[in-house]
Structure 1
Amino acid sequence: MSNLQKTVAEAFQLMADGLESGKLVPAPRIALTGMGSEHGETNAIEAALAAQERGVHVVYIGSQEVEGLECVHVDDDEAGHAKMVELLDAHEIDGAVTMHFPFPIGVSTVGRVVTPARGREMLLATTTGTSSADLVEGMILNAVYGVIAAKASGMSDPSVGILNVNGARQCEMALKQLADGGYPLRFAESSRADGGCVLRGNDVLQATADVLVCDSLTGNVLTKMLSSCATGGSFEAVGSGYGPGIGRGYDKLVLIVSRASGAPVIANALVYAGDLVRNHVFDVVEQELAAADAAGLQDILTARREASKPAATAEEVSAPPKEPVPSGIPGIDVMDLEDAVKVLWREKVYAESGMGCTGPIVLTSEANHERSIELLRKAGYVA
């Protein structure tokens, strides 16, 4: 969708909201802190004016007064952030876009990017903050946060894929368990021949999923690369930034952009914030977390915490007699690979660890292949 089409669509949405309610719907009031950008305040002001043309009332916090903008004067970046928090706490603004913010553990941001292969938007869950100190638990929560951001952006049935990083397979098993428990998750299907909801680099470029689940550090790098791949990295030109902080019980709508974000990205972030306000994002947070809890989310997270505890004693297991192992079993996280091999050794099945083109694999003989899959499934290493 072109920028002109998006602007027209947003204007019609505002009119439709007003017709439905029978009264004029006020534009969302979103603050923007403009100081601290590597591109200067002029860049932020350009973004604020552009966002106002797309249906957002911007409260600009900075050192300059600008005709056509509601401005709050501050002397420096630190004072700007203090004023932003003050306005949020007083409910004088509906949300804010800023360049850094200290989210508590349990809250992380869902970015919105545009991928180059198809020009499609995709949500990255997540890009800053930390949903959990445990990698896999964090990715499970990131998936739910991504669905929340997607639905609060206007998607009714977003597809969810998991980036093929450490923890992906454990996350996949947990999310499928959550779906089996009744939480409505629609899994994306990889564009590669082997399919599945664990996605690869090709899928990132094509936006195979509406929501791409990963850890925050990986999501942060992806956001930077996708937003500035055509500019050499110094100017983020595409997408909507790093997104809103989402977490259980968290009620401040704060969206993150980078000091390298250009005016187009900051303007998109302001519009993203407006979308979330219009779609009552915090109601969506409560609804989705309640639905996930009803489907067993807390039990799944508890089981994950127990599984991640170090064993009291490390049992020594010797390898059975060596034999040819031409048959590979994929779907195991690299951090679990050696433990998975020892599961088979314990049952007198010879196995080795390896790395295939799609990631880590356990190698067995063809005769032991099916039995090995069943043993690893029972031990929780494969879905």
Structure 2
Amino acid sequence: MDENNVKKLIGETFNDIANAIETGKFGTNIKIGLTTLGSEHGVDALVKGAELASKEGSFEVVLIGPRVETSLENIEVDCEKDAHTMMEELLDSGYIQGCVTNHYNFDIGVSTVGRVITPAFGKDLLIATTTGTSDTDRTISMFENAIYGIITAKALGNNNPTVGILNVDNARSVERLLKKLNDNGYNINFGESMRSDGGLIMRGNDLLTSSVDVMVTDTLTGNILMKLFSSFNTGGTYEAVGYGYGPGIGFNHKRIINIISRASGTPVVANAIRYAAELAKGNLKNIIESEYQKLKELKFEKLIETYKQENTAKVETRDDFKMPEKEIVSAEISGIDILELEDAVTSLLKNGIYAESGMGCTGPIILVTETNLEKAKSILKENNYS
């Protein structure tokens, strides 16, 4: 390095030190944007959230919106569309490393991982996912949601998060896919329900206690959960608790854009900015890329393709075989997805085993005789119903 470059470097270093002493912000090169238009609580509520977050000193906040009285940097725009355009330009140029906004439309394949504070023990919980659409197929969407949740946890510094699946439609199908991916070599730390029967299918109690680090669900359910967790003490008009609806995650998505609601209040805005800063510091974009490469090597996309082919092919009808005689059935088979329950029953009837569908205390069940129990389980497994 020549003498002029050395002097330049020394000069820049002293300027950085002087700026740090003046601002109290040491060692920060992270800037997080916040668009301030569109809130039901007005621009001031968002600005106050930004000012609150910026006091940490480990990152800077850049406001994108109308001019306001504040010490924060303020890039002036006067409508939401222009705010989003400016946000994207600032992210793509690297001027900011993440941004918090609302009412932003992600592409198909991208959905957000929310972060709430659960009431039982005050523990953080990632809800995967809360807005956006990972895939147009519900089961595949939830399957990918699980991966998005794991990626987000890793960016937050949790390299081995526990994962559970909320007991909603398709949960059992998602469980099978995740276990196949785990068998292929993608390590998934499956959690355990706090209920006495355990398992990785989670119930309402597990939401309240945060039995796992990542709760997998469909996006619409996740969105409702976010609203309940964040505003159950305020009547629903003001989101006061949590970190917002989280970053948009997708294998081809390159921007850290965290979503808040129009109902998000000052505390949630502040936490959403902190959340985005943590993800930027945790190299979220690099983790997405590295995890995707790993997944491709472990036949992640082949699993999806195979599932879709099998799901199309295995729809059963009761018109082309003789029904077995009715029997008294008392042996239960659980672990069948509710959306596949009747098809699974038909597959047994087709193989000469009398079966009925039912609903147990933990979800859908198939009832057969004790004599046919093991054979029925084998048939269901062969046909990918369990």
Tell me if both proteins adopt one fold, taking TM over 0.5 as the criterion: yes
Contact 2:156–2:282 (8 Å) recurs in 1? yes
Q: Show the counterpart of 2:173.
A: 170
Letter in 2 for 1:64: R
CA distance in 2, matches of 1:318, 1:328: 23
* Cα drift, residue 74 of structure 1: 1.6
Asked if residue 343 in structure 1 is aligned to residue 353 in structure 2, the reply is no
Q: Secondary structure at the match of 1:309?
A: helix
Runs of 5+ consecutive residues of structure 1 not aligned to the other structure: 1-17, 19-23
Q: Secondary structure at the match of 1:212?
A: strand
**Runs of 4 or more above 6 Å deviation:** none
Q: Show the counterpart of 1:195.
A: 198
CA distance in 2, matches of 1:65, 1:228: 27
CA distance in 1, matches of 2:332, 2:317: 26
Larger radius of gyration between Structure 1 and Structure 2: 2
Contact 1:153–1:279 (8 Å) recurs in 2? yes
CA distance in 2, matches of 1:337, 1:362: 8
Q: Secondary structure at the match of 2:40?
A: coil
TM-score (norm 1): 0.91
Q: Show the counterpart of 1:231.
A: 234
Report matched runs for 1:65-80 at 5 Å: 65-80=68-83
Match of 1:373 among 374, 377, 380: 377
Contact 1:162–1:199 (8 Å) recurs in 2? yes
Q: Secondary structure at the match of 1:174?
A: helix
Asked if residue 92 in structure 1 is aligned to residue 95 in structure 2, the reply is yes
Contact 2:111–2:132 (8 Å) recurs in 1? yes
Match of 2:244 among 226, 241, 246: 241
Letter in 1 for 2:209: Q
Q: Show the counterpart of 2:209.
A: 206
* Cα drift, residue 171 of structure 1: 0.7
Match of 1:152 among 155, 161, 169: 155
CA distance in 2, matches of 1:319, 1:44: 64
Runs of 5+ consecutive residues of structure 2 not aligned to the other structure: 1-19, 21-25
CA distance in 2, matches of 1:158, 1:95: 23
1:145-185 deviation digits (Å, cap 9, x = unpaired): 10000000111210000111111111111111111111111
Flag the 1:311–1:363 CA change in 2: closer, same or farther, 3 A: closer
CA distance in 2, matches of 1:313, 1:166: 19
CA distance in 1, matches of 2:136, 2:373: 35
Q: Show the counterpart of 1:8.
A: none
CA distance in 2, matches of 1:76, 1:122: 34
Match of 1:274 among 257, 274, 277: 277
Aligned residues: 360
Q: Secondary structure at the match of 2:53?
A: helix
* Cα drift, residue 312 of structure 1: 9.1
CA distance in 2, matches of 1:217, 1:84: 26
Asked if residue 127 in structure 1 is aligned to residue 130 in structure 2, the reply is yes
Flag the 1:210–1:281 CA change in 2: closer, same or farther, 3 A: same
Percent identity (aligned): 46
Asked if residue 332 in structure 1 is aligned to residue 336 in structure 2, the reply is yes
CA distance in 1, matches of 2:73, 2:316: 63
Contact 2:316–2:347 (8 Å) recurs in 1? no
* Cα drift, residue 77 of structure 1: 2.3
Letter in 1 for 2:32: I
1:258-317 deviation digits (Å, cap 9, x = unpaired): 000011111111011101111111110111122222222111111112123266995624
Moved more, 286-295 or 359-368: 286-295
CA distance in 2, matches of 1:306, 1:111: 31
CA distance in 1, matches of 2:70, 2:146: 42
* Cα drift, residue 346 of structure 1: 1.0
* Cα drift, residue 356 of structure 1: 1.1
